Amino acid sequence: MSVDWSRVHASRKFGVLTLPLALCSWVYGLGVRVHAARLKRRGPRRLAGFLLSIGNLTAGGAGKTPATCTLAQWARKTGYRVAVLSRGYGGTRKDRVLVVSDGRGVCSGPDEAGDEPVLLARALPGVPVVVSKSRYQAGIKAHEEFDADFFILDDGFQHRVLERDLDLVLVDARDPVGNGRLLPWGPLREPSRHVSRAHAVLLTRTRGWAPGQSPAEAWLSRFDHGPCFRSVHQPGPLVFSTGKSQPASSLKGKPVVAFCGIAQPGAFQETLESLGAQVRAFRGFRDHHAYTRRELDALEALCSEREAELLITTEKDWVRSMPILAAGPHTAFLRVSLEIVQGREALFQMIRERAAQKGVTPNPA
């Protein structure tokens, strides 16, 4: 039986798994301290240019991928020679460095590169996306092959091998740290107090919370931290396998079957229901799940059984299921973007100033 880790990480109750999970968390925490001490002795490595790290304290769910898209699109539009560096979680590549996008098109698939780098490559025309377990080598490749000097380190807060010029940490406004425990007992990759290491904090999913009123802001008040900005997840458009798209509002009143494999699968169901969709059935899978034909055939059969008009998933899951899922007007994904709603210009100015300190300026149009 598979474990619903999203529930485990949210629960503050004690049960039969508490003692073994607590022991594993202690071992994990010891590993974090040893790793940090080793890196401190060795010192970070430096890329030729400006490095913006986008990360979080928890194991997924805060919105790093849409945030990376938003900031990379802004950087390219502003005139920076930007490249995205990623580890490529879930990829099976054997190459030390893999170019997922050369800025002109997608060069690699999700099996070798991982689903999130391919999603980024599809969403960021004109922006090279390079994957490697060594983000330093990925940066060297991006600099030498694409002349990049503005690097965005995707999911980089814990990757302290590289010296970064701006550490932006994302925090879910609704539930910042779950039960507050380290992995695997809780969702934390490192202790909560390490948020003070960030240069700036970007609150995500702030819709419905007045400034200063969200659970995350109450939690952040316990720590020293950099300036705090606010953002929302903006759903839409709805993109069909045929290539056509409709506004997210077209889901209102529509009976659907939905599935996803993300860190917080319930959040996707909530989004669909908030748009007015009638969710006849929902299936959640583990994060980065590799779909099989049998699973997708079962979902399509469930669509017919529940008389649903649409089989719908997230864009990240679409990247993995697209090669198997039957194309047609009844399959689609919901694209979700991140919009900075408070402090947008202040954040961009902070990035400009820190980039300029490293001699990195936008190219004239």
| Model confidence pLDDT, tens digit, residues 88-138 | 877 767 668 999 999 999 999 998 999 999 999 999 999 999 999 999 999
Q: Which helix (H) or strand (E) holds 152?
A: strand 150-154
170 and 92 in one domain?
A: yes
Domain-located, residue 207: yes
Domain-located, residue 12: no
* Residue 2 confidence (pLDDT): 63
| Model confidence pLDDT, tens digit, residues 154-186 | 999 999 999 999 999 999 999 999 999 999 999
**165 and 355 in contact (C-beta within 8 Å)?**
yes
Domain-located, residue 30: no
- The answer for residues whose C-beta is within 8 angstroms of residue 54's C-beta and 6 or more apart is 64, 67, 68, 71, 152, 153, 154, 155, 156, 168, 170
State the residue range of the domain holding 321. Answer: 243-326
* Residue 247 confidence (pLDDT): 96
Domain-located, residue 17: no
The rounded mean pLDDT for the chain is 93
| Model confidence pLDDT, tens digit, residues 40-74 | 888 899 999 999 999 999 997 889 999 999 999 99
Domain-located, residue 200: yes
104 and 60 in one domain?
A: yes
CA distances (Å), origin 260, targets 68, 268, 291 = 20, 8, 10
DSSP codes, 242-282: TS-EE-GGGGTT-EEEEEE-SSSHHHHHHHHHHTT-EEEEE
96 and 226 in one domain?
A: yes
- The answer for residues whose C-beta is within 8 angstroms of residue 108's C-beta and 6 or more apart is 93, 98, 99, 100, 117, 118, 121, 131
Q: Report d(CA 98, CA 118) in Å as an integer.
A: 11
* Residue 359 confidence (pLDDT): 97
Domain-located, residue 277: yes
| Model confidence pLDDT, tens digit, residues 322-335 | 888 877 789 999 99
161 and 300 in one domain?
A: no
Domain-located, residue 3: no
* Residue 365 confidence (pLDDT): 62
Q: Report d(CA 170, CA 55) in Å as an integer.
A: 6
319 and 290 in one domain?
A: yes
343 and 199 in one domain?
A: yes
317 and 353 in one domain?
A: no
CATH number assigned to the domain comprising residue 278: 3.40.50
320 and 301 in one domain?
A: yes
Which position has the higher pLDDT, 17 or 22? 22
Q: Is 243 exposed, middle or buried (0-12, 13-18, 19+ CB in 10 A)?
A: exposed
352 and 314 in one domain?
A: no
**175 and 185 in contact (C-beta within 8 Å)?**
no
296 and 180 in one domain?
A: no
The residue type found at 261 is: G
Q: Does the structure show a pLDDT above 90 at 218? A: yes
218 and 297 in one domain?
A: no
* Residue 42 confidence (pLDDT): 87
* Residue 95 confidence (pLDDT): 67
61: three-class secondary structure by DSSP: coil
* Residue 10 confidence (pLDDT): 86
Q: Report d(CA 129, CA 98) in Å as an integer.
A: 9
Which position has the higher pLDDT, 6 or 54? 54
Domain-located, residue 32: no
337: three-class secondary structure by DSSP: strand
* Residue 102 confidence (pLDDT): 97
* Residue 246 confidence (pLDDT): 95
Q: Does the structure show a pLDDT above 60 at 1? A: no
| Model confidence pLDDT, tens digit, residues 243-300 | 899 999 999 999 999 999 998 888 899 999 999 999 999 999 988 898 999 999 999 9
Q: What is the DSSP letter of 211?
A: T
Length of the chain measured in residues: 365
Q: Report d(CA 202, CA 67) in Å as an integer.
A: 9
280 and 183 in one domain?
A: no
Domain count, the chain: 2
